[in-house]
């Protein structure tokens, strides 16, 4: 089974030279559900990236061998790059990969490196997901895949983040890029995604909303 804890560190290391500062631990840094006899637990690491915004890396595990790694890249400084949300789900011998990009920039942004990466790994089996409001909002270079080839999936994951970093470093900035991003964040909170029900159980509805604003999609360095 893929080591998601080690993978999380490898992803963080990609950005380690980019003026990265770890955000101090708080009440959202770890959680268990249910609290008395937990069957699920998660740990959350957050970072500020000077000149870009925010990065969250969350690892969750449950009994019966289910694990998930979620990484969110939030460009709250107005960089002309998409919001990136990646989920890696490992269960038994199969790995399911959701590499989602949402272009919320004012004028749209071309991302040739991300498109090239998507083309390179297009041969991985497509995951048959259920229809949802956010599916058509994704860019064409999003990767929704499943495979038993852990080595290739891992290569795809790491290359995706390297490509994202390259685009991030060269992207122009415009505060207006935050307008659509803020609207999309509210929609994510109100309409939800596959993780919403789980986070509501772990943190309660109000706590889950605060977690999403502060940890997944903060709009500034204060975590708001």
Could you give the CA distance from residue 48 to residue 54 in angstroms, rounded to a whole number?
A: 5
- Structural domain range at position 81: 4-216
Answer whether residue 103 is part of any domain. yes
**110: in domain:** yes
Tokens describing residue 190: 């109100």
Q: Give the pLDDT of residue 3.
A: 93
Q: Does a structural domain hold residue 63?
A: yes
**Residue 121 is assigned to a structural domain of this protein:** yes
Provide the terminal-to-terminal Cα distance of the chain, rounded to the nearest Å: 36
Number of domain units in the chain: 1
Contact 108, 125 (CB under 8 A): no
Both tokens assigned to 8: 């999380």
179 touches 121 (CB < 8 A) = no
pTM value is 0.95
**pLDDT tens digits for the chain (224 residues)?**
799 999 999 999 999 988 999 999 999 999 887 776 677 889 999 999 999 999 999 999 887 778 999 999 999 999 999 999 999 999 877 899 999 999 999 999 999 999 999 999 999 999 999 999 999 999 999 999 999 999 999 999 999 999 999 999 999 999 999 999 999 999 999 999 888 887 887 888 899 999 999 999 999 998 88
Specify whether the CB–CB gap between 85 and 72 falls below 8 A: yes
Question: What pLDDT, on a 0 to 100 scale, did the predictor assign at position 194?
Answer: 83
CATH classification at residue 11: 3.40.1500.20
222, part of any domain: no
pLDDT, position 70 = 96
Whether 223 is in a domain gets the answer no
């Amino acid at each position: 089974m893929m080591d998601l804890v080690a993978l999380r560190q490898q992803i963080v290391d990609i950005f380690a030279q980019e003026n990265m500062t770890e955000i101090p631990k708080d009440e959202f840094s770890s959680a268990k559900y249910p609290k008395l006899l937990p069957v699920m637990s998660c740990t959350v690491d957050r970072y500020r990236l000077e000149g870009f915004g925010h990065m969250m890396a969350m690892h969750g595990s449950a009994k019966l061998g289910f694990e998930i790694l979620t990484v969110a890249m939030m460009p709250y400084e107005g960089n002309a790059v998409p919001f990136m949300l990646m989920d890696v789900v490992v269960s038994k011998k199969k790995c399911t990969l959701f590499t989602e990009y949402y272009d919320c920039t004012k004028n749209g942004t071309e991302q040739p490196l991300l498109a090239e990466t998507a083309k390179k790994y297009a041969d991985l089996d497509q995951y048959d997901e259920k229809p949802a409001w956010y599916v058509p909002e994704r860019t064409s270079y999003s990767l929704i895949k499943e495979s038993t080839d852990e080595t290739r999936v891992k290569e795809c994951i790491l290359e995706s983040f390297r490509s994202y970093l390259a685009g991030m470093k060269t992207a122009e900035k415009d505060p207006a890029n935050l307008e659509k991003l803020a609207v999309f964040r509210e929609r994510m909170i109100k309409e939800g995604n596959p993780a919403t029900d789980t986070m509501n159980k772990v943190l309660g509805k109000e706590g889950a909303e605060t977690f999403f604003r502060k940890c997944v999609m903060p709009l500034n360095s204060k975590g708001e």
